[in-house]
Structure 1
Amino acid sequence: MLVPIKWLKDYVDIDMDIKEFADGMTMSGSMVEGVEDIGQNIEKVVVGKILEISTHPDADKLLVTKVDVGGEIVQIITGATNIRENDYVPVALHGSSLPNGTKIKRGKLRGLESNGMLCSPDELGLDAESLPSGVDMVDGIYILDRAYPLGKDIKEVLGLDDKIIEFEITNNRPDCLSILGIAREAAATFGLKMKYPSEEVSGKDGEASDYISASVKDADLCLRFAIRVIKDVKIKNSPSWMQERLLKAGVRPINNIVDITNYVMLETGQPMHAYDLDMLENKEIVVRRAEKDEKVTTLDENERNLDDSILVIADGKKAIGIAGIMGGYNSEIKEDTRTIAFECANFDAVNIRLSSKKLGLRTEASSRFEKGLDMEIVSLAMNRACHLVEMLDVGEVVGGTIDIYPAKKEKRMVTLRSDRVKWLLGVDIPIARVKRMLESLEFEVAGEEVLEIKVPTFRDDVTMEADLIEEIARLYGYNNIPSKLMDTTFTQGGRDAKQQIRNIVRDNMEAQGLYEAYTYSFVSPAVFNQINLKAENPLRKAIKILNPLGEEQSIMRTTMIPNILEVISRNYNRKIVEGMFYELSKVYLSEDLPLKDLAYERDTLTIGIYGNVDFYDLKGIIENMLSILNISKYRVLPSNHESFHPGRTAELLINNKRIGYLGEIHPDVLDNYDIPSRVYIAELDFEEIFRQIDLTIKYKPLPKYPSIERDIAVVVAEEVTAGQIEEIIRNKGGRLVDEVKLFDIYRGSQIEEGYKSMAYSIVYRSDEKTLTEEDITKVHNKILNSLTNQVGAVLRS
């Protein structure tokens, strides 16, 4: 937002150094991006009047001029051809300086003295394309538009004695996208009086409704719509003061009517538009959604394709503008326009933003509407525009206004507790000062200790007590709030138990030589087929992403097996022939789809190894981790899983609860991932592992009584596992069995095919006494009987 200081001074008396002003505004929340002093380097350039022009006797292309610069007549030689006698021009006198650093001194040209220079726009630092309308001197001297006092500083004449401040306006403060908004902030910041511009309008005979009718068909997108009519319009250039202000604010002047709408938009923040009334079919304006495939040519002469999500302004037959964005070429103001309709409206911010993005068209108007404007400033802007029409004698304002405003905006009430101000800011600000600060921002304040505040309609960002306290803080000055330590107690931060366990597991995995992998939680629906999951498998009930980057990342993963297989495939295809990886992350599960409640995010540990490894390497990694976590009551039993090799798959149970699967991946799955090597994977429920952990260290005294060791060798069927036999031994031996160790497995000619011999060493010990042979024999026989009955074991002789 560009704000010329001279324009700002119309509404607030700023009498201070520009740096002090900029710093004060920044500290109160209006961020100053930069300050431009447009005439800073221009010195001793004055208004002069050309009295005589003659040809240089020794140079056909040079002219000798006599110029009155106020109090003296100087001779200046120039090569410009656009000057005439009695023209008023900028004159750089002897000893003057120009914006580009040039110093002008008297000298001689072809033998004749020249006491200065007649200046062009470029030499004064002016962009020729941004010169006021009607000024045609791109290649010559700047001809002033009228007579000015001779010798007057050119900076005053051309407004170059001004400074322009650029403010960065945040999206929640659309009220500051105007000169009046910045003036209001300046008045509150420096304790000054705010002056509003005149909006007095006399209005002539008749009513606007006699000339035009208006209707709003989509009131949800157009909250207020107002029309006023101007007749007997005289299209011409705007006065130089208006053009000068528009140019400094970054808007190029066009003609008096268009300039008035732009001037009011910059002044009040409310965009306006003017339509040539004689070009409207049926003298009617309708606010409606665009029809399917409707087209409109906008003021930039580009044809726009519309759809029914875009709001348009239309006459009786066609669209004449895109609401809140840009008017139509078919109703623009031309030199022969005699009757106009001023439109001033308030549109839905979200619709304007989406429509602007869809059309790839962003304008000064849309940039304001998309932030949400105050509906109440429509009246101010309309009356101000009509006042300028009368002041500039542009035309005759017809009496009355068509104002479609079905739901009037009411001021919001917010309660402010004085003790809360001190509690949040840490300073005790007198309640009288609090009131003054809020009233300076045009809040209506009532009450004493508990204030009832009416928030002005242009401050939609103030919705609660904390917002009011923020307003007080910025006006009081953040730099005036002393720094101090919090009056509170402190607690030491740290990782919770689960985070500590995760780190223990990571350290253990890496100590065993595994690399940690990080993969995306978004996967493709195709992964379920790739890992051979059956159609009825509950893992296929995946949560779909509403705005996926693509089909490859369109659902939330329910298993991490595809992720670890992709990691292995990528490494193998890059000539890394062996590797061990793990990932400790989350899978996302839901009982009902589509999702109604939050998904269940389950921590899962996945391990993948390949190369010179086998199933027992994977099992050993898991057992080592369980040992570190002090989990001893676990079993690894044969099992089945669609993704794993039949007969080479196991499940891990802890306290008889299934924790997950481990084993060799099915060859068909490996083919789907282009992996020619055997791969072993484990996927474990880390949530359940965490629940089984007990890291409490328990000590017991050294044994008092001696142990006795017995060996047994039993013949069992091939499908009987060592874990089953060990479990029977420990269950039947009870507290007397101190240690069980498998030390031999034999298959050979002495054992029937389909069977194997397994030899165990059993250590017996009691904490209460020295065991006798009778004690041990009793328990030993009990174990042998249980082995025979439960797994068909035969004692090998």
Structure 2
Amino acid sequence: MIWAGEPAPDKPTTVPIRFAQVPRILGIDVPPADVFAILEQLGLSQITDSDDTTATFAVPGWRRDLSREIDLIEEVARIWGYDRIPEDNRVPLTLSQPTHRDLVCGTLRDLLCAAGFHEAMTLSFITPELFGLFRPEPDRSPLSVEHSSRRQENLLRQSLVPSLLQSRRENERHGTFGVDLFEIANVYLEAHPGAEGSEPTRVTAVTGRSFGELKGICEAMVTHLAPHARLSAEPLELPGFVDGRGARLLLDGTPCGWLGELTREATDPVDLRDAVTIVELDLATVEAAVETTRRFEELPRFPAIERDLNFVLDEHVSWDDLESIVRDNAGPLLDSVSFGGQYRGQQIPADKKSYVVTIGYRSDERTLTNEEIEEAQARVVASCETGLGASLR
């Protein structure tokens, strides 16, 4: 054992306090006499004569947490009572109203989620390999960024399809097969000669479902947003689309997007397990057609009567062509036109196909007679035979 002598005497900590700091920090006036009383109750002792502005206190050894002026002021506030400190005035906040585009995008998200799609959020930069997977506007050159931190992904996308195909691949690699994805985001297009570049917003979906099913989903979205608008499709030969399964979509005659099944060659670079069908819509065109005011219509008092017609048509005749002829010639009693089915095979020539169209008739004043319906049906058949070269099967 070594004797080292007595420990050094404990030197008390001293902390000065400025009384003017109390109201500045706490926002309330605490008289200096009350400040003295509170600190003395806590075991602190005044070691210098005070004036009206400052005082110095010795801190007891068991209060090592008191070493600064702010510590003493906090103790004063605690003992004086936090409930006696007034609240700050609330900062006024003004909530912005959602824009028309916000509402349209929200509705599109709800409709696509209800149809079984999952929303994705992908990067705007893609690799040159992905860029070439789907180019709906091949005459526009890609925009690149030379100093991108992602050296391999330095091209700005012109379509959301490559990004969503890559996301679908990543889901498959992690064991999630058959996931249907959509995204609402900007693409970046090079300027045409004499025009500025643009950053249009696109609504894009990638799915393993059929061409017809995805077209039906698009029609349902348009019907919800713009009940009186008509979505049609015209055949389109675009690199990456399977022959006969690509189309340009038109909304009331205005081009609004592309729909088609991708070839295996187009999807091989991302190594997808199954074939995929894509749709890409221009949001501005869809937004312009949205009907913000709806008109109430009473429920019909009389039943609709439906009749089916089975037409044999040339292979190049589309369903939209047939539907348009039917709507234009069925007359004022027409209530609905719906797709009943399509057939190719035995009993149908190789260059022909069969469409079944279901036509609904209704009157707001009475129940229709068979004679009225047969007259309308005959008019439809005659117009299809004349305009499309159709024949009844």
Indicate how the Cα distance of structure 1 residues 757 and 503 shifts in structure 2: closer, same or farther if over 3 A, else same.
closer
Q: 1:563 matched to which residue of 2?
A: 163
CA distance in 1, matches of 2:176, 2:245: 25
- Of residues 736, 741, 756, the one that matches 2:333 is 736
Tell me the SS of whatever aligns to 1:600: coil
* In the alignment, structure 1 residue 716 sits paired with structure 2 residue 313: yes
Q: Is the 8 A contact 2:140 2:192 kept in 1?
A: no
Tell me the SS of whatever aligns to 1:553: coil
Structure number with greater Rg is 1
Q: 2:205 matched to which residue of 1?
A: 607
Q: 1:540 matched to which residue of 2?
A: 141
Q: In the TM superposition, what are the counterparts of 1:63-102 in structure 2 within 5 Å?
A: none
Q: In the TM superposition, what are the counterparts of 1:33-112 in structure 2 within 5 Å?
A: none
Indicate how the Cα distance of structure 1 residues 710 and 558 shifts in structure 2: closer, same or farther if over 3 A, else same.
closer
* In the alignment, structure 1 residue 500 sits paired with structure 2 residue 103: yes
* In the alignment, structure 1 residue 616 sits paired with structure 2 residue 212: yes
CA distance in 1, matches of 2:306, 2:153: 60
Instruction: Kindly provide the amino acid, as one letter, of the partner of residue 663 in structure 1.
Output: G
Q: 2:239 matched to which residue of 1?
A: 642
- Of residues 215, 224, 237, the one that matches 1:628 is 224
Tell me the SS of whatever aligns to 1:495: coil
Q: In the TM superposition, what are the counterparts of 1:457-606 in structure 2 within 5 Å?
A: 492-531=95-134, 533=135, 537-542=138-143, 544-545=144-145, 547-591=147-191, 599-606=197-204
Tell me how far 1:624 sits from its aligned partner: 3.4
Q: 2:30 matched to which residue of 1?
A: none
Indicate how the Cα distance of structure 1 residues 709 and 506 shifts in structure 2: closer, same or farther if over 3 A, else same.
closer
- Of residues 262, 268, 282, the one that matches 1:685 is 282
Q: How big is each residue's C-alpha offset from its partner over 1:578-637, in whole Å with a ceiling of 9 and x where there is no partner?
A: 2111111111234269x996x532111111123xx3323423333333333244511233
Instruction: Kindly provide the amino acid, as one letter, of the partner of residue 148 in structure 2.
Output: P
Q: Is the 8 A contact 1:745 1:758 kept in 2?
A: yes
Instruction: Kindly provide the amino acid, as one letter, of the partner of residue 223 in structure 2.
Output: S
Q: 1:655 matched to which residue of 2?
A: 252
CA distance in 2, matches of 1:484, 1:566: 51
Tell me how far 1:736 sits from its aligned partner: 1.8
Q: Is the 8 A contact 2:129 2:269 kept in 1?
A: no
CA distance in 2, matches of 1:762, 1:617: 20
Q: Is the 8 A contact 1:540 1:558 kept in 2?
A: no
Normalising by structure 2, what TM-score?
0.68
CA distance in 2, matches of 1:592, 1:662: 24
Indicate how the Cα distance of structure 1 residues 592 and 747 shifts in structure 2: closer, same or farther if over 3 A, else same.
closer
- Of residues 359, 367, 391, the one that matches 1:762 is 359
Q: In the TM superposition, what are the counterparts of 1:167-178 in structure 2 within 5 Å?
A: none
CA distance in 1, matches of 2:298, 2:266: 52
- For structure 1, which runs of at least 5 residues remain unmatched after alignment? 1-16, 28-481
Indicate how the Cα distance of structure 1 residues 672 and 784 shifts in structure 2: closer, same or farther if over 3 A, else same.
same
Q: 1:787 matched to which residue of 2?
A: 384
Tell me the SS of whatever aligns to 2:280: strand
Instruction: Kindly provide the amino acid, as one letter, of the partner of residue 554 in structure 1.
Output: N
Tell me how far 1:708 sits from its aligned partner: 4.8
Q: In the TM superposition, what are the counterparts of 1:323-338 in structure 2 within 5 Å?
A: none
Indicate how the Cα distance of structure 1 residues 682 and 790 shifts in structure 2: closer, same or farther if over 3 A, else same.
same
CA distance in 2, matches of 1:556, 1:759: 44
Tell me how far 1:728 sits from its aligned partner: 0.9
Q: How big is each residue's C-alpha offset from its partner over 1:471-525, in whole Å with a ceiling of 9 and x where there is no partner?
A: xxxxxxxxxxx97678x9x865332221122122222222222221111112334
Instruction: Kindly provide the amino acid, as one letter, of the partner of residue 605 in structure 1.
Output: V
Give aligned pairs, total. Answer: 316
Where relative contact order (Cα < 8 A, 6+ residues apart) is larger, the structure is 2
Tell me how far 1:530 sits from its aligned partner: 4.0
Tell me how far 1:769 sits from its aligned partner: 6.1
Q: 2:83 matched to which residue of 1?
A: none
Task: Select between 710-719 and 580-589 the one with higher mean Cα deviation.
Answer: 710-719
Tell me the SS of whatever aligns to 1:606: strand
- Of residues 339, 348, 360, the one that matches 1:751 is 348
CA distance in 1, matches of 2:207, 2:306: 38
Tell me the SS of whatever aligns to 2:238: coil
Q: Is the 8 A contact 2:187 2:202 kept in 1?
A: yes
Q: 2:269 matched to which residue of 1?
A: 672
- For structure 2, which runs of at least 5 residues remain unmatched after alignment? 1-14, 26-86
